[in-house]
Amino acid sequence: MSITLDQQLKALVRDVPDFPKPGILFRDLTPLMRDPKAWRLVVEGLANRCDGHRPELIVGIEARGFIVGNALAFAMGLGFVPVRKPGKLPGPVEGLDYSLEYGSDRLEIQQDALAGGPRVLIIDDLLATGGTAAACAGLVGQAGGEVIGYGFVAELTDLGGRQRLPGSEPVESLILY
């Protein structure tokens, strides 16, 4: 019996109980990122799954989405655009405030980052409740881009984040919990 990509990658994800607060089981992807063969599998796996969506740009969500998104953009021969927390980007920005289960937050993108209406693939390391990725999709639309899909290294399926994402664009996740 051959081992699946999901199983290979899960073997390198470290479970950290009670982080960042009691009752939370944190899925730490940094051991997977440290392993060069596994990291290559992650980047190639996402590139293979997302290539058919024909993105023109990769948008990565701060902060671990920068790591995954930049590697994926390089592998696919695409440009990369960061979506950041407030006050981190120079020049004029577009911003979007959004609600979370424990408060509110804000995401920003440079005003000219999505000029010309590019087809955008939103990338992050992990999909949990979907609030941040959904807000990023709203911000991409507000800034003139067209969201054509989402990519994640891991997805916590019990939290229903996929259902919170706007539209019917495809969601690609390599590891499912």
Catalytic residues: 64, 101
Phi, psi angles (nearest 5°) of residue 112:
-95, 5
Long-range contacts of 106-111 (CB under 8 A, 24+ apart): 107/61, 107/62, 107/83, 107/132, 107/135, 107/136, 107/139, 108/83, 108/84, 108/139, 109/59, 109/81, 109/82, 109/83, 109/84, 109/139, 109/140, 109/143, 110/81, 111/143
Tokens of 102: 């424990």
Within 8 A by CB and 6+ apart from 110, the residues are 81, 89, 90, 91, 92, 93, 94
Return the residue matching tokens 């399926």: 157
